[in-house]
Amino acid sequence: MTELSLSHPRSLTFRLVRLYVGLALYGGGIALLVESGLGLDPWEVFHQGLAVRTGWSIGMCINLVGALVLLLWIPLRQRPGLGTISNVLVVGTSADVVMWLVPAPATWPVQWTFLLSGIVAIAAASGLYIHAGFGPGPRDGLMTGLHRMGLSIRLARTLVELTVLAAGWLLGGTAGIGTVVFALAIGPLTQVFMKLWAPAGVTARSPGTQPS
């Protein structure tokens, strides 16, 4: 049997590169959404609300919530993978680094550039992360766990995201036009990147599991 090269799409090294580039890019995309000031996706509204109330960085809240959500996997009988654990460590850290490096925009055209760039970055990151095949992010694992208990994926995702959106808004997180744009654009864009990043000979899977 011929040994796979390190750059082969199915080699362990190549998959690990996809995993960690995807996670870092996902955190960078979140940072751009936050810096835009136009509104966040539901989980980031919640993370930002926690940051407002605790005084911690948004990245720290992202990582902490990810770790706490993993505890909910136990009664749901979900098993984390390398990607799941890495998600808890990398995404929030990357978001904090990018927010530290990139100043908040002062004009609305730059705000919109940040918002749209953040959404594209998150979609691209999702394609990389999912095709790496190291397991779902902690928040998506929560939804698939609820699905195993009898809820449809659509209902489980809707309930979870509406709950965290409402809680985050009450805590002081930013929900706005960017939240709506994210909701409308993320699915189609993720599908595009799923197809673009699919390894040769592999059919793109549904973008139902993002590294969130």
- Report CA-CA distances (Å) from 36 to 102, 114, 176: 11, 5, 11
Name the band, by pLDDT with cuts 50, 70 and 90, for residue 200.
Answer: low
Name the band, by pLDDT with cuts 50, 70 and 90, for residue 112.
Answer: very high
Torsion angle of C-alpha atoms 84, 60, 126, 205, degrees rounded to 10: 30
Instruction: Assign 3-state DSSP to the chain and report helix, strand, coil percentages, each to 5.
Output: 70, 0, 30
Task: Tell me what the mean pLDDT of segment 147-154 comes to.
Answer: 80
pLDDT tens digits, one per residue of 1-31: 334 444 555 688 989 999 999 999 999 999 9
CA distance 169 to 44: 10
pLDDT tens digits, one per residue of 125-138: 998 988 888 988 89
- Report CA-CA distances (Å) from 136 to 2, 121, 155, 183, 204: 30, 18, 18, 20, 16
Name the band, by pLDDT with cuts 50, 70 and 90, for residue 211.
Answer: low
- pLDDT for 204 equals 47
CA distance 87 to 39: 23
- Higher-confidence residue: 147 or 102? 102
